[in-house]
Amino acid sequence: MKDKIIKSIKELLPYIIIFIVVLLIRAFIATPIKVNGNSMYKTLDGSEFMILNKLSKIERFDIVVVDSHSDELIKRIYGLPGEKISIENNTIYINDKKLEDIYANGETSDYESIILQDDEYFILGDNRTVSLDSRIIGPVKKKQIKGTTNFILYPFNRFGKLEK
């Protein structure tokens, strides 16, 4: 009886290891996410499944998932820690220099000049007229950012990496 139990455990061990590895990867490295809403339109239409990378360095124009109270927001990084950011007449300024914004869809409402703290980022949705972003909720803290995403899993006709 004991030999039968040991044999069964040995047969199951590879599956148990695979299961544990998948759980660890999902918890600490990458996990699938679902895009909801159209605040990132034209880049994303709101029906995509993507991979969230929990280990990547955050850079300007990265698409990130932000934990905002009970919601997860998918937005794009514009302002980095320590930078001065303002928006005037549909133009974004970083440290008083005009930023070329190729992602904007719609008018970008004005935003008074602020200097981001060491752990703050300024996020905007690409679809500016409907986006709940830093213009409304203010800068987001680094600890609110769950990771970056730039790889579409589904729909299959869009499968692959998004270009910056």
Is there a catalytic annotation at residue 39?
A: yes
Residues whose CB falls within 8 Å of the CB of residue 119, separated by 6 or more in sequence, listed in order: 81, 141, 142, 143
Helix (H) or strand (E) run with residue 154 in it: strand 145-154
Please name the residue that has the structure tokens 């996410």: 33
Instruction: Provide φ and ψ at 121, rounded to 5°.
Output: -130, 150
Residue 139 to residue 115: CA distance in whole angstroms: 10
What single-letter DSSP state applies at residue 127?
B
What are 25's two structure tokens?
A: 């990867």
Which entry of 7, 8, 34, 39 is annotated as an active-site residue? Answer: 39
Given the residues 75, 86, 142, 161, select the one marked as catalytic: 75
Indicate if 142 belongs to the active site. no
Active site residues: 39, 75
